[in-house]
Chain A
Amino acid sequence: MSYLNSQDIHQFRNRVLALNGEDVSRCIQCGKCSAGCPISPEMDLQPNQVIRFIQINDPATVLKCSTMWICASCQTCSVRCPEEIDIAKIMDSLRKLALEAKVPVGEEKVVKFDEIFLDSIRKRGRVHELELVMKYNLALLQPFKDAHLGPVMFARGKLGILGHKIKEVRKIKEIFKNSRRIKQSES
């Protein structure tokens, strides 16, 4: 085991602070975030433990955990934290940091879904739900997952075969390009 103080102990805390303005050193480790988190049973690290590992500068442990990936962004933790720490916002930043650090993502499925989601927007300007779910299930080699829902949804007019496409799709593609470009030039 390495020494806790072998490196700048505030490095990761400061990183998160710079990224989203949330200071984990305020956290008193009361655990209320974990107590109310609906996804807690499935998380490998509890939300308060995630905060703890940021406090003690252990990005390696944090960035490979499942917590931020299965976080539903329901905000329960954020609105009940006695220290008014926006934990849900920290989860969002951690997703970004994990992708940047290129650590193996514990919850690939979630990322895959989100990527297909964005791709759908880029191509159409809007999301086409049927296409989204189908592509996602295909990508995960589980083409028949939820297939039983198809006929029901279809019969209820809930799944359009053809998605909508906005007129200024070109404009959307540009926005995708621009936002990425600015991001790269900044980093």
Chain B
Amino acid sequence: MTESSHDENIELMTYAEVVDVKGFVGNFDVTIRKKPRYVDMTKCTGCGLCIEKCPTKVPSEWNLDMGLRKSIYKPFGQAVPNVPVIDTEHCLFFTKGRCKICQKLCPAGAVDYEQKEELVTKKFGAIIVATGFTQFDPSAYGEYGAGKFKDVITGLHLERMLDTSGPTGGHVVRPSDQTEPKNIVFIQCVGSRDESKGRPYCSRICCMYTAKQAILLKDHYPETQSYIFYIDIRAAGKNYEEFVKRAQRDYGAIYIRGRVSKIYEKGNKLIVRGVDTLAGRQVELEADLVVLATAVVPQPDAIDLAKILNIPYDQYGFYTEAHPKLQPVESVTKGIFLTGSCQFPKDIPDSVATTGAASVRACEILSKDELVLDPKVAFVNPDICSGCLNCVEVCPFNAIEPIVINGKTIAQVIPTLCHGCGNCASTCRTSAANVQGFTDDQIYAQVASVFEILKKENFLELSE
């Protein structure tokens, strides 16, 4: 990140979002909303004095509410750019009209409460979508008491606690009483592989991060014992299986094949009632901490963005690739590429690999003066088109636009957007819209010649 912020060929637009995309491959017009951060990026030196002196305290999103941040803050230590932002919902100046401490103290005079939102439109040749994922809300599992029992947390909470720059300085403690847990129960597939929660897919990353967390826990706290309830261990990556074996063999993690049905509090312990399907019996564990491996789910606004970009998505809200095997990083819309978990759950190596692939694909477009397109696209014969514009409605790629020729409105295909699906051709009542290479005449001719052959070879007795 830091490196890319220094590269002269890269312009980072942080705290900004895409609000509109027009045009097509090689010629996208993208409108971006730059939100006001109330700190002048050109003046701020990143000294952090404002953050230190801000009198407010707000739960930190980055630390999943386990720690606090200020109203003027950087989301996390290594955030790029090294410039804070003001959270107007909690800032005393924005909520109550007083304070202004940060402005008074900033040695660079960078704090500017008057900053306004900015809309910029720029031209781009290609777009790479890398909006990532969020985690499933486990409170959907009433039987696990997530959200109700303080010591039932998610893998991400544990990850933050294990981070030396995290809210607990790297100490793993029970949120309820800040004591160190001894017995830790991990539950896999919470929200994943669960039709009843509408998410039958595997989240792909939980098996490995859980094994890692079990190893780290034992490493930091040799007295701890981890128990991991799993349905299947999916360790299909280079050295993954060996890694899980290490967690079991060298770090003593007990893997229990089965799901947990209920968690309840007893005294200051959590009773976890599960099953060991290999032993064929119910098991109960007394846990100090329960860690839920919650499902990878799309960002809540993933579908809104898909509509802006005009790219397809699946029933869960993950973006769909053009071809699952042969075009895994291309979206169906030419010039728009996908990477990371906005497409489906991916681990780090997969995300890095797809990002490389998507970047090369994008460069391929940018490095050429002219693009070679598939010739099998639609065209509209302007002489026959009646101007009903039904085709505009049915085109899934917005590839047809109305134009006016000699005072008459007719349809015209933008070949760079067209995928040759033929929806327009089958909808057009005057046969003005056709797909190159598949015009009505060509298809009739093909059918006719097939019949000729069949007749000649006596395969067919035509009753005339």
Direct contact of A and B (CB under 8 A): yes
Could you list which residues of chain A lie within 8 angstroms of chain B, going by C-beta atoms?
Answer: 26, 28-37, 40-41, 46, 48-49, 76, 80-84
Residue B367 lies at the interface, judged by CB distance under 8 Å to chain A: no
Are A40 and B282 in contact, with the CB atoms below 8 A? yes
Report the separation of the CA atoms of residues A82 and B196 in the bound assembly, to the nearest whole angstrom.
5
Between A and B, 22 residue pairs with Cβ closer than 8 Å are A30-B259, A31-B231, A31-B257, A31-B259, A31-B274, A32-B259, A32-B275, A34-B275, A34-B277, A35-B259, A35-B261, A35-B262, A36-B143, A36-B262, A37-B261, A49-B277, A49-B280, A80-B143, A81-B196, A82-B195, A82-B196, A83-B195
Contacts of A32 in B (CB 8 A): 258-261, 275
Are A46 and B277 in contact, with the CB atoms below 8 A? yes
Contacts of B276 in A (CB 8 A): 31
Contacts of B219 in A (CB 8 A): none
Would you give the shortest CB distance from A30 to chain B, in whole angstroms? Answer: 4
Could you list which residues of chain B lie within 8 angstroms of chain A, going by C-beta atoms?
Answer: 143, 189, 193-197, 231, 257-262, 273-277, 280-282
Report the separation of the CA atoms of residues A92 and B189 in the bound assembly, to the nearest whole angstrom.
29
Most chain A CB within a 10 A radius of its CB, from B143, B197, B259, B274 = B259
Contacts of B277 in A (CB 8 A): 29-31, 34, 46, 48-49
Would you give the shortest CB distance from B254 to chain A, in whole angstroms? Answer: 16
Are A28 and B231 in contact, with the CB atoms below 8 A? yes
Per DSSP, chain B at the interface is strand
Would you give the shortest CB distance from B109 to chain A, in whole angstroms? Answer: 58
Report the separation of the CA atoms of residues A83 and B195 in the bound assembly, to the nearest whole angstrom.
5
Report the separation of the CA atoms of residues A80 and B274 in the bound assembly, to the nearest whole angstrom.
12
Are A28 and B282 in contact, with the CB atoms below 8 A? no
Contacts of B273 in A (CB 8 A): 35-36
Would you give the shortest CB distance from B230 to chain A, in whole angstroms? Answer: 9
Are A41 and B194 in contact, with the CB atoms below 8 A? no
Contacts of A29 in B (CB 8 A): 231, 277
Q: CB-nearest residue of chain A relative to B194?
A: A82
Contacts of A30 in B (CB 8 A): 189, 193, 231, 258-259, 277
Would you give the shortest CB distance from A53 to chain B, in whole angstroms? Answer: 12
Q: CB-nearest residue of chain A relative to B284?
A: A35
Would you give the shortest CB distance from B144 to chain A, in whole angstroms? Answer: 10
Report the separation of the CA atoms of residues A36 and B272 in the bound assembly, to the nearest whole angstrom.
10
Report the separation of the CA atoms of residues A81 and B257 in the bound assembly, to the nearest whole angstrom.
16
Q: CB-nearest residue of chain B relative to A52?
A: B277
Report the separation of the CA atoms of residues A32 and B143 in the bound assembly, to the nearest whole angstrom.
11
Report the separation of the CA atoms of residues A30 and B275 in the bound assembly, to the nearest whole angstrom.
9
Are B260 and A34 in contact, with the CB atoms below 8 A? no
Given A28-B231, A34-B277, A36-B261: A83 touches B282 (CB 8 Å cut-off): no
Are B280 and A82 in contact, with the CB atoms below 8 A? no
Would you give the shortest CB distance from B47 to chain A, in whole angstroms? Answer: 52
Contacts of B195 in A (CB 8 A): 26, 82-84
Most chain B CB within a 10 A radius of its CB, from A30, A37, A41, A49 = A30
Would you give the shortest CB distance from A38 to chain B, in whole angstroms? Answer: 10
Report the separation of the CA atoms of residues A34 and B231 in the bound assembly, to the nearest whole angstrom.
13
Contacts of B258 in A (CB 8 A): 30-32, 34-35
Given A35-B274, A82-B194, A82-B195: A76 touches B280 (CB 8 Å cut-off): no
Shortest beta-carbon contacts, A-B, top 5: A36-B261, A31-B258, A35-B261, A35-B275, A32-B259
Report the separation of the CA atoms of residues A33 and B262 in the bound assembly, to the nearest whole angstrom.
11
Known: A31-B258, A31-B274, A32-B258; 11 extra A-B contacts, CB below 8 A, are: A30-B193, A31-B275, A34-B281, A34-B282, A35-B261, A48-B275, A82-B193, A82-B194, A82-B195, A82-B196, A84-B196
